[in-house]
Amino acid sequence: MATSSEVYITTEDGVRLFCRKIGDGPRTLVIPNGFYFLDDLKHVPQDRTIICFDLRNRGASDSITDPAKLERGVHNDVDDIEAVRRYFGADAIDLIGHSYVGVVVILYAMRYRAHAGRIVQIGSAEPYNGKQYPPHLAYTDTVIAEAFGKIGQWQKEHAGDDPVALCKKFYELLRVIYVADPANAEKIKWDRCELANERNLMMYFTGTILPSLKSLNLDPQEVAKVTSPVLTIHGRKDRSAPYGGAREWAFMLPNARLLTVENAAHAPWIESPELVLGAVKTFLDGEWPEAAGKVASI
């Protein structure tokens, strides 16, 4: 059993980030906001150091009330990854980023190329937030509308309930959007409702993170300077992040390959664990997974 330790590190602007370090191997894997991955990473080699941490205003990291420490959105997250790398003394770090953090890890590789190793994007948000892709590259059905309809009704009827209970019910009703097969919804356990930051996540995401994603305006020539190998993993039935965005990332990045997971949505490692986690292990070990291919066009 790998040893584990927990610590708070402090960024240059005084924000404390909650970190967990597992193992003490020569290669370092950093997973921002990835505590829900940890139980599934048994495929990752034991000779690796894994550092999982909560980004600012997330999880057990500091709750922030000073707008100046939040206004940069995902750019703060990029610099916080670098603060974690420096604290633990790793020369180079591999990264796994899920959902909008899939964008953050690429921004890190753009800004800190010398320290970025192998990068895994899973269900990443698209490079150009809000871009409309053709129907075959953007899965849509009635599930999201139905889920938020149920959430709205529940919140109306239970507005005075305990905030933790409301949070848990919110995620119970929401989690069906993250899977292609509703039978897998109960495997989604991302809520962490005991933490105030996670109970207030939607306000922070829509008010700060999403605007910063929308204002990125990435330059393809700058993205093309990323030298890190990037494995982009995406479910074809992802409702939260369009599949076309994954194709676009793999097309723009010069050393990237795409692993398409059929019949999976925003949590492909839950719906196809052997394929996805096996591919992550192969990639982090230094090889391209057999099922991953180059993308010649979006």
The string of pLDDT tens digits covering residues 116-145 is 999 999 999 999 999 999 999 999 999 999
Give the separation between CA 223 and CA 226, rounded to whole angstroms.
6
Domain finish residue from 158, 176, 202: 202
181 and 222 both lie in a single domain: no
190 and 225 both lie in a single domain: no
User: If you average pLDDT over residues 142-150, what whole number do you get?
Assistant: 95
Structure tokens that stand for 146 in this block: 């139905």
According to DSSP, the residues that pair with 141 across neighbouring strands are none
Q: How far is CA 248 from the centre of its chain?
A: 17
Q: In the prediction, which pLDDT does 100 show?
A: 97
Q: In the prediction, which pLDDT does 46 show?
A: 66
User: If you average pLDDT over residues 36-62, what whole number do you get?
Assistant: 86
Residue 273 falls within a domain, yes or no?
yes
Residue 207 falls within a domain, yes or no?
no
103 and 224 both lie in a single domain: yes
Mode of pairing for the β-strands spanning 230-235 and 256-261? parallel
- Predicted model pTM: 0.96
Rg (CA), the chain: 18
Residue 1 has pLDDT above 60, yes or no: no
Q: State what percent of residues in the chain have pLDDT above 90.
A: 88
148 and 134 both lie in a single domain: no
Helix (H) or strand (E) segment spanning residue 277? helix 273-284
Residue 291 falls within a domain, yes or no?
no
Q: In the prediction, which pLDDT does 43 show?
A: 62
* The length of the chain, given as a count of residues: 298
Q: In the prediction, which pLDDT does 4 show?
A: 85
Q: In the prediction, which pLDDT does 98 show?
A: 97
Q: In the prediction, which pLDDT does 45 show?
A: 59
Q: Give how many domains the chain has, as a whole number.
A: 2
Which pairs from 28-31 meet CB under 8 Å and 24+ separation?
A: 28/85, 28/88, 28/90, 28/92, 28/93, 28/94, 29/93, 29/94, 29/95, 29/96, 29/284, 30/81, 30/84, 30/85, 30/90, 30/93, 30/94, 30/95, 30/96, 31/95, 31/96, 31/97
Contact 269, 98 (CB under 8 A): no
52 and 186 both lie in a single domain: no
Q: What is the pLDDT of residues 187-235, one digit of tens each?
A: 998 889 999 999 999 999 999 999 999 999 999 999 999 999 999 999 9
Which of 275, 268, 277 is CA-nearest to residue 237?
268
DSSP 3-state of 281: helix
107 and 33 both lie in a single domain: yes
Give the separation between CA 71 and CA 208, rounded to whole angstroms.
7
User: If you average pLDDT over residues 255-279, what whole number do you get?
Assistant: 96
Structure tokens that stand for 248 in this block: 């676009």
190 and 77 both lie in a single domain: no
Q: How far is CA 156 from the centre of its chain?
A: 30
Q: State what percent of residues in the chain have pLDDT above 70.
A: 98
Residue 263 falls within a domain, yes or no?
yes
pLDDT band for position 44 (cuts 50, 70, 90): low
233 and 98 both lie in a single domain: yes
Q: In the prediction, which pLDDT does 154 show?
A: 87
Residue 277 falls within a domain, yes or no?
yes
Residue 117 falls within a domain, yes or no?
yes
119 and 54 both lie in a single domain: yes
69 and 127 both lie in a single domain: yes
Lowest mean pLDDT among 7-11, 153-157, 234-238: 153-157
Residue 235 sits in which domain range? Answer: 4-138+214-284
Residue 293 falls within a domain, yes or no?
no
pLDDT band for position 155 (cuts 50, 70, 90): confident
Q: How far is CA 224 from the centre of its chain?
A: 21
11 and 132 both lie in a single domain: yes
Residue 178 has pLDDT above 90, yes or no: yes
User: If you average pLDDT over residues 19-48, what whole number do you get?
Assistant: 86
Which of 67, 43, 57 is CA-nearest to residue 11?
57
63 and 109 both lie in a single domain: yes
Angle at the Cα of 53 from the Cα atoms of 51 and 54, rounded to 5 degrees: 170
CATH code: domain of residue 13: 3.40.50.1820
Domain finish residue from 177, 202, 227: 202
Residue 296 falls within a domain, yes or no?
no
Which of 96, 148, 118 is CA-nearest to residue 268?
96
User: If you average pLDDT over residues 87-99, what whole number do you get?
Assistant: 97
Structure tokens that stand for 205 in this block: 């995401």
Annotate 53-82 with b (16+ C-beta within 10 A) or e (fewer): bbbbbbbbbbebeeeebbeebbebbbbbbb
Q: In the prediction, which pLDDT does 156 show?
A: 87
